[in-house]
Amino acid sequence: MRWRILRTLLYKEVLRHLANRGGIALVLLLVVASMLLSFFGHGGPGPGLTSGVQRCYVDYWEDSRLVEHLKDHVPGDLKARVRFRRAAEARTNSKGAIVYPQSTGAIQLRPGHQVVFWHPGTESSVMALFEAWFWKESLHFYQTQQAKSVGLTAAAAELPAVRSEHAELKGGMDPRSGLATALVLFGLFFVCVYLLPSLTCEERERGVLLAQALSPASAREILAAKFLFYPALGMALAAVLAGTYQPAVLARPFFWLALVSAVFGSMGVGLTIACLARTQRAASMGAMTYMMAVALVLFICQQNGIPGLSYLALEYHCPRMLHAVLTDAVLWYHWAHLAGTAVLACIWTVVATVLFRRYGWQ
């Protein structure tokens, strides 16, 4: 690697982006949106912005006929979203409290007729569907039991004295943290998955890439310049957006580890699209198609409970990591997401490097 050539190529990339007024305007818009979210987003959650509960755990401390009744009477539309387990089998943190994944809720059946409903975020209404099912089936169970043992009619039977309460799961996807996570992710993907393929294909159409290949610069140096410039730009933008929303996040090592793995994975995706697309229009369409396809696959897997397939997408791991560090709720499984992102980033980087060295610069 020759530094004088790398410096020239990096300077060329800077000039290209300074001439792209649309990109600069969008970056400024993202920064302004992050500032507004930080200064004026401390109110209560707005309607329709909560993510809801994708899965509800029913954790019980003791086996009982009520638990068996609930297992046998889960409605068809909730079967894929309700999971029963013994409390002793649940994962716990260092303090012994049960740990739940993101976008999940829980109904804890504790000893002494105590029921606790755990909901993500500040709005307990996201658990309304599961609460309605629980109270309906519990009443039906006790009505049947009392009718058999005491001889009461079902209408006269009542629930026993039950202590119920609601509690918030920390680290849930509330509107503010969810929007902040989306801004950071959009900044990363805008730089690495949209700008990189678009400007690279524009250079190919204008013959700039061919001119670079005919110059003293080698294909390795051209590729190195892109791997130096775009990850740095993407990380800088993401850090500004995250730091504007919550300055303390910049002092958390997990944030920078997550950012490095996410930006290099996105860089690999963007460079792969740039190598496969031959024109700027095709690059823009390819980036949009990629994002839409991944979003649809993740949505289908989430709604239908398809295991494993979602783990192959960067977009599955990155939001969970970034949201956890923005809300200061990093748990052990977020490190697993970090490892998955690092592996996928390496795969995408190798694929992009091979494609670019073979014919991406032509």
Question: Domain with 125 in it: what CATH number?
Answer: 3.40.1710
> Can you give the pTM of this predicted structure?
0.66
Last residue of a domain, one of 140, 169, 198: 169
What is residue 46's predicted lDDT score, i.e. its pLDDT?
42
Same domain (yes/no): 107, 222: no
Q: How many domains does the chain have?
A: 2
Same domain (yes/no): 208, 144: no
Same domain (yes/no): 131, 234: no
Residue 151, by phi and psi: left (phi above 0), alpha (psi -120 to 50) or beta?
Answer: left
- Does any domain span residue 320? yes
A 10 A CB-CB count for 282 gives 17
Render pLDDT for 220-265 as a digit per residue (tens, 0 to 9). Answer: 788 788 888 888 898 999 999 988 888 888 999 999 999 999 999 9
Closest by CA position to 70, among listed 124, 128, 140: 140
CB 1 within 8 A of CB 8: no
Question: Hey, which of 88-92, 112-116, 341-345 has the most confident mean pLDDT?
Answer: 341-345
Same domain (yes/no): 227, 280: yes
Same domain (yes/no): 119, 226: no
d(CA 190, CA 43): 29
Same domain (yes/no): 203, 320: yes
d(CA 315, CA 260): 14
- Does any domain span residue 165? yes
Render pLDDT for 132-164 as a digit per residue (tens, 0 to 9). Answer: 898 888 888 877 776 666 555 544 455 555 566
What is residue 255's predicted lDDT score, i.e. its pLDDT?
92
- Does any domain span residue 49? no
- Does any domain span residue 50? no
Average predicted confidence (pLDDT) for the chain: 81
Same domain (yes/no): 143, 287: no
Residue 31 structure tokens: 């920064």
- Does any domain span residue 219? yes
CB 297 within 8 A of CB 309: yes
Render pLDDT for 20-31 as a digit per residue (tens, 0 to 9). Answer: 777 788 888 888
What is residue 351's predicted lDDT score, i.e. its pLDDT?
92
d(CA 316, CA 312): 8
Residue 255 structure tokens: 């944030």
| Terminal-residue alpha carbon distance, the chain | 21
Closest by CA position to 141, among listed 162, 111, 127, 119: 162
Same domain (yes/no): 144, 217: no
Same domain (yes/no): 155, 194: no
Last residue of a domain, one of 169, 199, 225: 169
Render pLDDT for 184-197 as a digit per residue (tens, 0 to 9). Answer: 998 888 888 888 88
Check pLDDT > 50 for residue 322: yes
Same domain (yes/no): 320, 286: yes
What average pLDDT does this structure show over 69-90? 88
What is residue 25's predicted lDDT score, i.e. its pLDDT?
83
* Token pair 């993740």: residue: 298
Rounded to 10 degrees, the C-alpha dihedral 34/26/338/224 comes to: -140
- Does any domain span residue 260? yes
What is residue 45's predicted lDDT score, i.e. its pLDDT?
43
Q: What are the CA-CA distances from residue 104 to residues 194, 211, 331, 359 (Å)? A: 32, 54, 15, 46
Render pLDDT for 37-75 as a digit per residue (tens, 0 to 9). Answer: 777 654 444 433 334 677 889 999 988 888 999 999 898
- Does any domain span residue 239? yes
Same domain (yes/no): 285, 214: yes
- Does any domain span residue 48? no
Could you tell me which residues are beta bridge partners of residue 82? 56
d(CA 291, CA 285): 10
Segments of 140-216 assigned E as strands = 163-169
Same domain (yes/no): 280, 351: yes
Last residue of a domain, one of 169, 192, 223: 169
Quickly list DSSP for 262-295: HHHHHHHHHHHHHHH--SHHHHHHHHHHHHHHHH
The residue segments making up the domain with residue 98 are: 55-169
d(CA 321, CA 345): 14
1 SS3 class = coil
